Amino acid sequence: MSTPHPTEGELAILQVLWDHGGPCTVREVHESLSQHKDTAYTTVLKMMTIMADKGLLQRDESERSHRYSAQHLEPEVQSVLVKDLMQRAFAGSALQLVQRALDVDKPSRDELDAIARLIADAKSKRGRA
């Protein structure tokens, strides 16, 4: 099964579920989302129902209050979104994507060191392939 491309609203719901680390009720998701943006409970319910139908969420109907969990892990979805962005906005160039990311948000020294380690790891994996 391929990883779907969530909308901005769907991504916000997925983020709540990933951050929570386990299944949540619609009420729990609504409460979390409402801390940042005024969102109607019925809107969250409708979106989560649609997301379950699309395969973004799993719904557990064994209890009175249905519990939802993300169907895909956060890194899986992030990879799909980054690949899509890289293709659409940067003509498939990882270099251009990283350049813009570094220009837009100045990373800390620790982040730069971590990026350097990731690059070194990628180079060593290329050498073995």
CATH match for 8-70 among 3.40.710.10, 3.40.50.2300, 3.90.550.10, 1.10.10.10: 1.10.10.10
Q: Which whole number is the average pLDDT over 54-58?
A: 94
Place of tokens 């943006």: 37
Cβ contact 97:85 at 8 Å: yes
Higher pLDDT, 129 or 47: 47
Does the pLDDT at position 128 exceed 80?
no
Rounded to whole angstroms, the Cα distance separating 112 from 102 reads 9
pTM strictly above 0.85: no
Q: How confident is the model at residue 1 (pLDDT cuts 50, 70, 90)?
A: low
Does the pLDDT at position 50 exceed 70?
yes
Cβ contact 66:59 at 8 Å: yes
